[in-house]
Amino acid sequence: MKYFAAIIIFVLTTIITHSQTYEIGGILGGANYIGDIGKTNYISPNDLAFGAIFKWNRSGRHSFRGSILLVNIKGDDNKSNETRREQRGYKFENTILELSVGIEYTFWEFSMYDGQKASSPYLYTGLTYFSYNALYKRPNDIIVDYDQAGAVAIPMVVGYKATIGTNLILAAEIGARYTFTDDLDGSNPVNGLANESTLQFGNINSNDWYVFTGVTLTFTFGRRPCYCNF
């Protein structure tokens, strides 16, 4: 068995070394949520987000991309500019763990192999699945978690990346996630409390969003690609 495992590792190493360029690295930045509690700013990071990212560069213009991101979000009506929310005084905190896969497109050719510095704006989209703490509002207006839940989101990311030397790529990006849930803030409980209309508040016909703002730093490896096939 150990010889078979050694052969598999050797084959995988050979494939990686002699195929298209790969990237692996980290993600660091801040996050904010958009929903029924707190500020209504679209981009206003107020909590930490970090994770890891992997890319498979299939051409000079597009890459397959996967990432895992741990996001902390919070909202506080007392920091809102809306009088109604300030008077209400709700607040919450939540933690999101997301897995995302999709395609990243650069606006123009991005090559690390012509001896020149490369840079380009880019777009990323795909499909995101995330887990989070299911919340609800108690009669004393305190919002607490009662269960774990999961949902799907659509990422919409715009960024700008540039090479650093021959093997590093630094990028800055802003990415909104449109989620298919309205319970990140406890305004529309799910699971066992899904039918409890008395626990709902805010606009229950509008789903929540969260936004990541930050940087990625990736290390490239693998032989120079030929981009012969898709």
Separation CA 61–CA 141 (nearest Å) = 50
Whether 3 is covered by a domain: the verdict is no
The secondary element (H helix, E strand) that includes residue 83 is helix 83-88
Helix (H, G, I), strand (E, B) or coil at 191: helix
Computed over every residue of the chain, the mean pLDDT equals 87
Separation CA 212–CA 159 (nearest Å) = 11
Whether 12 is covered by a domain: the verdict is no
Q: Tens digit of pLDDT for each residue in 120-178? A: 999 999 999 999 999 999 999 999 999 999 999 999 999 999 999 888 999 999 999 99
What range does the domain containing 115 cover? 21-221
Whether 230 is covered by a domain: the verdict is no
The pTM score is 0.83
CATH number assigned to the domain comprising residue 64: 2.40.160.20
| Count of C-beta atoms within a 10 Å radius of residue 91 | 17
Whether 38 is covered by a domain: the verdict is yes
Helix (H, G, I), strand (E, B) or coil at 87: helix
Whether 114 is covered by a domain: the verdict is yes
Select the more confidently predicted residue: 199 or 60. 199
Q: How confident is the model at residue 5 (pLDDT cuts 50, 70, 90)?
A: very low
User: ∠ at Cα 70 (69, 72), nearest 5°?
Assistant: 135
When mean pLDDT is compared across 8-22, 179-193, 196-210, the lowest value belongs to 8-22
Q: What are the tokens at 19?
A: 């195929």
Nearest to 215 by CA among 176, 165, 148, 161: 161
Whether 227 is covered by a domain: the verdict is no
Total domains, the chain:
1
167-170: long-range pairs with CB below 8 Å, 24+: 167/219, 167/220, 167/221, 168/217, 168/218, 168/219, 168/220, 169/23, 169/25, 169/112, 169/216, 169/217, 169/218, 169/220, 170/215, 170/216, 170/217
Contact 156, 179 (CB under 8 A): no
